[in-house]
Amino acid sequence: MPSQALSNTGPVFLPPAHDDRTIGAQIAGIAFEHPSERRWLIAFAGCCALVGLMGVSVGWLFYWGIGVWGNNIPVGWALDIVSYDWWMGNACGALIVSAMLLLSRQSWRGALNRAAETVALLSAAAAGLYPIIHLGRPWFFYWTLPYPNNLDLWPQFRSPLVWDAFDIISFLIVALLFWYVGMIPDLATLRDRATGLRRKQIYGVAALGWRGSVVHWARWIQTYRVLALLGVLQAICTQCGASVMYAGTLEPGWHSTLLPVSTIINAIFSGLGMIAVVVALIRYLYPIQSPITPHHLDVLGWMVLTAGLLSTYCYCADFFFTSLGGDAYDRSVMLRRLTGAYASGFWLIGAALLPIHLLWFRSARRSGAVLFVLGMLAMAGMWGDHFMLLVITQHRDFLPSSQAHYSIGIWAVLTWIGTTGLFGALLLLALRYLPVASIVELRLLARQQVGETPRG
Amino acid sequence: MPPMKASAGEVAALRGLLAQSGGRASWQALERVAGSAEFRAFLESRHPSLGGLLGGTGRRRILQVMAASFAFGGLAGQARAQDSTEDQIVPYVRQPTGLTPTVPLSYASATLLDGIANGVLVTTIDGRPIKIEGNPDHPWSRGGTDAFGQASVLGLYDPDRSQAVQHLGGVSEWDSFRTALQAPFAALRATRGKGLRLLTGPVTSPTLIAQIERMKNTMPEMHWHAHAPAGRDTLYAGARQAFGKPLETRWNFDKASLIVSLDSDFLDPGPQQAGASRAWAAARRRSLHEGRLLAMHAVAPSPTLTSAKADYHLPVAQRDLPPLAHALLAKTKGGEGPLGEWTDTVVAALEGARGQSIVLAGTHQPAEVHAAVHRINAAFGNTGTTVGYIDPVVAQAEPLRELVQAMRQGEVAMLVMLDTNPVYSAPADADFGHLLSGVALKVHAGLHFDETAALSDWHLPLSHPLECWGDARSLDGTASVIQPTIQPLYDGRSAIEILSMLTDPEPRAGYEMLRAFWRGQMGDDFEAAWRQALLAGFVSGSAFPAQPVKPAALATAVAPATTAAALQVLVRPDPTIWDGSFANNAWLQELPKPLTRTVWENVVAISPKLAAREKLKNGDVVVVDVAKRQISGPVWIQRGQQDDTITLRLGYGRRQAGSVGDGIGYDAYGLRSFDALWQIGGATLRQAGASASVATTQQLDDQEGHDYVRMQPVGGKPVGDNSAFTQPTLYQREESDGRAWGMVIDLDSCIGCNACIVACQAENNVPVVGKKEVLAGRDMHWLRVDRYYAGADENPDTRFMPVPCMQCEAAPCEPACPVEATLHDAEGLNLMVYNRCIGTRACSAYCPYKVRHFNFLHYSEAPASIQAQRNPNVTVRGRGVMEKCTYCVQRIVAARIDADTNHKPIPDGAVVTACAGACPTQAITFGNLAEKESAVAKARADGRNYALLGELNTRPRTTYLAALAPEERKA
């Protein structure tokens, strides 16, 4: 457990009245008593409808083919890969934030980390759909994996797409383990507090026999931290892998060494945006029970601002190097990003990166509504980044004769909306039945605040 | 192959008899068939003239004919293929001689455009013609083909073709038709044919002409009219003015050092294209070897392929062309302005190249321009050296105008229309459809149940040139023999058979009539000569001799130039649909028009200046008004168009073309009148307020500062380089097994004719996607011909660049594929393994040339008869699979197998890709780069050779030879 004591002059992340019992009751209360049930039900029904929509869109896609999406030649990768990259960016960013806070022993993270890890896992789940459905012949998706077969055929290991397939699978495993392992003591708390046999049994099984012994704690904290480290590395690998899919080509605007760096930074920015949105939503859904304080929002605000500034730096560097030294094709891609038919993608990024400067103000950082809006803008901006990267380079690369414009197909939009529904439905289930904040870490924080040395 | 509609019950019965012989297609089986009652009935009804032969000494003859027709028509093989799906499969016990399943057979034949032949070889596999190749021995085409000829295989399998005799809207039979017409014809014979009018399309067939002459002999009062909506009447009228008789002009480019084109179209789509462009390109290459440029000066009111290939070009209003021609003739000073400068330059050049220049005028120029051009050629000493004259190849029948006159006056009692569609294609002032209702008996024969068929009493299905016997002449007069390459798909008859049905006491078979005619022409050893003609595809020595003619002096004073202010409309045949007769051919519909790159419709081409003045942009719908007639269509801004000129294209706005061609585009015939067929003055243009989406395969016209198409000044420093193949790399180059396939495309020879695209489509089963999908950016052509403009909008240079897969040695697409569906072989081919492809589209994203195409929807689904055209040696790619040019790998593999079994290397020239084989100008050279003496290796060593985007270190196997430019443009 983090043992660093906070100084008394620091911000108070937990109201002083909290102790072990009130924290447990508060968090478990959400799982057992379902506060704000009407709001939750409406949201869940909406999300389920969107999941149904996704089913219809994917069914239509499988029946007719990729042509229903609006993709063409040269823009063979369009909204499908944009959405995939965007979801994966959110997932990686959220995971990096949560894991880095754990590794750097920020004991206040307890109120946020469950949200962050859940977001990471569910974003990856939403993203995981695309590598399969975007194929022309999706029923052969497993050909990208090395499996024993009587034709002695292997995937081609030079292809970034193969590594991307490995990446998303291992990312899902790591994110799932990180999320679940971190939750085991909390699940045990729920089991202990549960009324009714069924609940006891379900949470009991989920808690994997946690008894809170010293050995359990020691093993747990080791495992959790190792997984955090793995998660950070995995998220960086995944983002680098995704960007090498572009950087490894000859295409103007893609063939760039800066791309992996900016992709990771943008992923963190986008992931923080998503955390900010979900945190604001949790505060809206559970105004009383939620342990998220304005102090948390304040820290989140600083992080969003930092990531946004780093992202701004990357765009400036890209612009600077391209216009200074880049070749003619790179320069014309840059020009098209600013002024071309799809310049809206770039200006969407501007719409995300400019308002973050509001976060220099304390009142803005501490406002859930402001964070929600800025988080939404960050996500939208990073969606615009992926759109810009993919569509602008592809629709017009080297030969003017190969230019063709791409228009977004309605089924591609519906599919993407469907994935947000999937994400939302799973998130709402998690918020309702699982501890929305880390009980164990909040308890630790409470003890630290009253100066007590934590056990274990 | 899916079963096709049985043509007639009697044929089925005959097939039954053949089948009973246990699969032995032997003489014995034929004996049995010949002796049967079914066969007698068949012969009686189909070929009554042969019936008498059966009993007597003619029996052997019948058997011969049967054997021949079974073999030629593929009846035996075809029947078996059909029957097998119905009852049982019986394999050949003995192979019919000369027929090995899956091995292609080639027949020498001809494709027709406006009745004029182009000698070709038809490749058939298992009794199905699937591909047209050039016939290198043919004296006119010399191995060249055009897009129309290449697409004619699809026309054969068109499911919308007329399949049965129709009478007053109901299905009828040939017998009923014959019976019904016997009485009227008997009456006509009695009145010496008075009231009978025969209307044909343009006719060059010697047999048909002789047949009509015979018909006129027995019925001297009848009239024969020919209607060619995009025909050569103006050419003949011009020759009449100059020489007093209609003549064809033949050019000898080899002896020329200068070409002057007055809106000429010798490189443009048309019956002359394959032959003339080949001769031109060969002469231009030869002149380059001699260190000079066979320069071309061209003026044109609207850009053509000819003006696009000209070294010096200028847009000139149509009304200024006749005065210009007369100025050249009189060698008058040109005066002020660019046209004056052009005139002075050209007159000086003509003076300097006496006897070595060619002046040409476009087919659709008025007769006076043609007459002036004949006189110019005579004045500069070209006649007899670079310019020669021969008799017209198109039979000189009476014009349509006189038929219309007669119909108006009620002199037509019976009208027989053979292979023509006047209701659609007659000038608007004829009002042909209305007049037709006044004719008592109207008979129409055509490939389709078209606009004219709908208004006729009888409609007869015509057989396609690929499925019947016939003959036709090329533009040099060479007579080609047209052989059937498949048993008729439907119950059609050829034009000569239909006429025979009307005039002969017993209808005769086309084959018999053809032989009967040529027996009279070929002299003593007919059988040997006939066999030779069949093998070669043409009758040797049948080209027309040169006519020693001199133009008469100019009689009348030349009218001064008019200075009309109004817009001038040019009506021209469509570059892919021609006069509308190809409207139902989906390959030609989806073939980009060479200059506008638009597909699936015709556009109203206007100049950039006019567009700016009227505030029009591409796709804006405009109404063009001429003399109270109007059409409306989408505008397309054509660079290089003369400012006040509007170009309209024929062939669209079809009402009854078939499921492909109906209801697209505007009908430019609606503006034509007999007096103004090709150029109509006094037009106005106004916006209709609407906007249409016009599908184009190329959105950008400029090279944007790059030199994708390089220009080589003749005599200048070589612009080519080898830098693409000398760049360093960290990777190991893969060793080849001794072969390295490569392609060199000579951009100077490419005239943008698109024959290669259609050839590729036919050879490689490339699907057609339709306008909507082209609009979405999903056209599937494996080979595209890019067209770039350079220079000012008013008068830009035009460059063509065919772009197939570059077959890069360091292919960027290959590392992209996660499942290794695209990879290299040892001969340097960048292969596509279709059944391994899962459709990630990564290869396309990685391809700098964007030559890969993806089957986004179920594009390869097609009617059964269309599927019959497909090349069995090429996979039909399904939905969700990437596809691209393979250098016709199936042809390479066939040659490799052949070489392996014979233990010999593949000789140079043994593998010809479909595009290279189709190219009329031999712009494409293909072969083994590893062999130093191969044509392609030599072409690569040319100083003009360079790689497209070579700086990317992709090491493309396809390279280009820079186009030629005059020496002064060294820049």
| Section A24-40 average pLDDT | 83
Q: Tell me the CA distances in angstroms from B7 to B152, B634, B865, B962, one per residue in order.
A: 21, 43, 14, 53
Quote the pLDDT of residue B7.
Answer: 44
Q: Give me the residues of A, 326-385, that contact B with CB < 8 A.
A: 328, 332
> Is residue B705 within 8 Å of A328, Cβ to Cβ?
yes
**pLDDT per position as a tens digit, B222-254:** 999 999 999 899 999 999 999 989 999 999 999
pLDDT at A31: 84
**What pLDDT is stored for residue B62 in this prediction?**
56
**CB–CB contact A76 B708 (8 Å):** no
* Residue environment code for B738-773, b if the CB has 16+ CB neighbours within 10 A, otherwise e: ebbbbbbbbbbbbbbbbbbbbbbbbbbbbbbbbbeb
pLDDT in tens, B29-39: 555 555 666 66
Going by pLDDT thresholds of 50, 70 and 90, the confidence category of residue B557 is low
Chain B residues whose beta carbon lies within 8 Å of the beta carbon of residue A161: 816-818, 840, 842
User: What was the pLDDT predicted at A262?
Assistant: 93
pLDDT above 70 (res B560): no
pLDDT attached to residue A10: 56
Which chain B residue shows the shortest CA-CA distance from A402? Answer: B850
Q: How far is B467 from chain A (nearest CA, A)?
A: 37
Residues of chain B found within 8 Å of residue A135, distances taken between Cβ atoms: 838-840, 880
| pLDDT given for residue A452 in this prediction | 57
User: Cα–Cα distance between B746 and B800 in angstroms, integer?
Assistant: 10
- d(Cα A221, Cα A241) in Å, to the nearest integer? 30
Predicted confidence at residue B169, as pLDDT, reads 83
pLDDT for position B506: 87
- The stretch B876-881 carries a mean pLDDT of 94
In total, the C-beta contacts within 8 angstroms joining chain A to chain B are 162
Give the mean pLDDT of B318-323. Answer: 88
CB A100 within 8 A of CB A116: no
A 254-283 residues with CB < 8 A to B = none
With a cut of 50, say whether residue B61 has pLDDT above it. yes
Residues of chain B contacting residue A397, judged by C-beta atoms under 8 Å apart = 848, 850
Nearest to A262 by CA among A372, A358, A382, A144: A382
With tokens 């020669």, the residue in question is B388
The predicted-structure confidence for B623-673, as pLDDT tens digits, reads as follows 999 888 999 999 999 999 999 999 999 999 999 999 999 999 999 999 999
Mean pLDDT of B6-27: 49
Contact B820 A251 (CB under 8 A): no
User: Which of B798, B817, B856, B883 has the most A C-beta neighbours within 10 Å, making it the best mutation to test the interface with A?
Assistant: B856
Which residue of A73, A134, A251 to mutate against B (max B Cβ within 10 Å)? A73
Which of 375-434 (A) contact B at CB < 8 A? 394, 396-407
The answer on pLDDT for B114 being more than 80 is yes
| Confidence at residue B21, expressed as pLDDT on a 0 to 100 scale | 46
CB A307 within 8 A of CB A265: yes
The pLDDT of residue B23 is 42
Q: What is the pLDDT, as a whole number, of residue B44?
A: 59
- CA A247, A251, A256, A261: dihedral to nearest 10 degrees? -40
Q: Which residue of B has its CA nearest to A76?
A: B841
Percentage of chain B lying above the pLDDT 70 cut = 89
Among B84-98, B148-162, B532-546, B951-965, which is the least confidently predicted range?
B84-98
Q: Is the pLDDT of residue B52 over 70?
A: no
Query: What does the pLDDT read at residue B340?
Result: 86
| Least confident window among A320-324, B2-6, B589-593 | B2-6
Residues of B in contact with A62 (CB under 8 A): none
- Angstroms from B849 CA to nearest CA on chain A: 7
As a whole number, mean pLDDT of residues A327-332 equals 90
Residue A156 to residue B838, Cβ atoms within 8 A: no
Neighbours of B543 (CB within 10 A): 20
CA distance A65 to chain B (A): 5
pLDDT at residue B881 greater than cutoff 50:
yes
Pair B714, B962: CB distance under 8 Å: no
A166 in contact with B, Cβ within 8 Å: no
Least CB–CB distance from B856: residue in A71, A154, A396:
A71
* Span A98-118, average pLDDT: 87
**pLDDT tier at B971 (50, 70, 90 boundaries)?**
very low
Phi/psi of residue A63, nearest 5 degrees: -70, -45
Query: With contacts defined as CB-CB under 8 Å, which chain A residues touch B883?
Result: none
Which pLDDT belongs to residue A441?
86
Q: What is the 3-state secondary structure (H, E, C) of B694-733?
A: CCECCCCCECCCCCCCCEEECCCCCCCCCHHHCCCCCCCC
Q: Which residues of B touch A249 (CB under 8 A)?
A: 812, 816, 845-846
Indicate the range of B296-305, B526-535, B882-891 predicted with least confidence.
B526-535
pLDDT tier, B5 (very low <50, low <70, confident <90, very high otherwise):
very low
Average pLDDT over residues B198-219: 93
Contact A405 B837 (CB under 8 A): no
Phi-psi region of B909 (alpha: psi -120 to 50; beta: other; left: phi over 0): left
Q: Do A353 and A381 touch, CB atoms closer than 8 A?
A: yes
Backbone angles phi, psi at A259, to 5 degrees: -60, -45
Please determine, for residue B51, whether its predicted confidence score (pLDDT) is greater than 70. Answer: no
Pick from B344, B273, B346, B258: which is nearest to B304 by CA?
B273
Q: Which residues of B touch A140 (CB under 8 A)?
A: 819, 838
Q: Calculate how close chain B gets to A436, using CA atoms only, in Å.
A: 38
Nearest CA in chain B to A246: B846
pLDDT band at B78 (very low <50, low <70, confident <90, very high): very low
Which residue in the set A135, A249, A404 is minimally distant from B840, CB to CB?
A135
pLDDT category at B83 given cuts 50, 70, 90 is very low
Under 8 Å between Cβ of B588 and B577: yes
Confidence band, pLDDT 50/70/90 cuts, at residue B91: low
Indicate the range of A441-445, B738-742, B855-859 predicted with least confidence: A441-445
pLDDT at A5: 41
User: How far is B152 from B109, CA to CA, in rounded Å?
Assistant: 12
| Residue-wise pLDDT tens digits, B884-925 | 999 999 999 999 999 999 999 899 999 999 999 999 999 999
Shortest Cα distance from A217 to chain B (angstroms)? 43
CB–CB contact A401 B784 (8 Å): yes
State the best of A68, A72, A336 to mutate against chain B, taking most chain B CBs within 10 Å: A72
Q: What is the pLDDT of residue B272?
A: 93
Distance from CA of B624 to the nearest CA of A (A): 30
Identity of the residue in B788, B854, B858 whose CB atom sits nearest the CB atom of A73: B854
CA dihedral sign of residues A209, A211, A213, A219: positive
Q: Return d(Cα A12, Cα A31) in angstroms, integer.
A: 26
Sign of CA dihedral B936, B939, B941, B945: negative
Q: What is the pLDDT of residues B794-846, one digit of tens each?
A: 999 999 999 999 999 989 999 999 999 999 988 889 999 999 999 999 999 99
Over 60: is that where the pLDDT of B588 sits?
yes
Q: Report pLDDT digits (tens) over B696-743.
A: 999 999 998 899 999 999 988 899 998 888 888 887 776 667 889 999
Residue written as token pair 């084109």: B261
Of B803, B839, B848, the CB nearest to A397: B848
Question: CB A67 to CB B812 under 8 A?
Answer: no
Q: What is the pTM of this model?
A: 0.88
Name chain A contacts of B777, Cβ cutoff 8 Å: 72-75, 404-406
Q: Is the dihedral of CA B520, B527, B543, B580 positive or negative?
A: positive
The pLDDT assigned to A438 comes to 87
Nearest to A445 by CA among A57, A34, A185, A108: A108
ipTM of the complex: 0.91
* Nearest by CB: B698 against A143, A397, A401: A401
Cα distance from A142 to chain B (closest Cα, Å)?
Answer: 10
**Which residues does chain A have within 8 Å of residue B801's beta carbon, measured at their own beta carbons?**
401
Chain A residues in contact with B704 (beta carbon < 8 A): 332, 400
Which of A 55-74 lie inside 8 A of B, CB atoms? 64-68, 70-74
The pLDDT tens digits of the residues spanning A408-423 come to: 999 999 999 999 999 9
Mean pLDDT on A287-316: 88
The pLDDT value recorded for residue B63 is: 55
User: A165: which chain B residues are within 8 Å (Cβ-Cβ)?
Assistant: 818
Taking all residues of chain B, what is their mean pLDDT, rounded to a whole number?
Answer: 87
What CA–CA distance (Å, rounded) separates A129 from B881? 20
Q: Residue B73: what pLDDT?
A: 46
Query: Are A401 and B803 inside 8 Å of each other by CB?
Result: yes
Most confident of A291-305, B35-49, B323-337, B747-761: B747-761
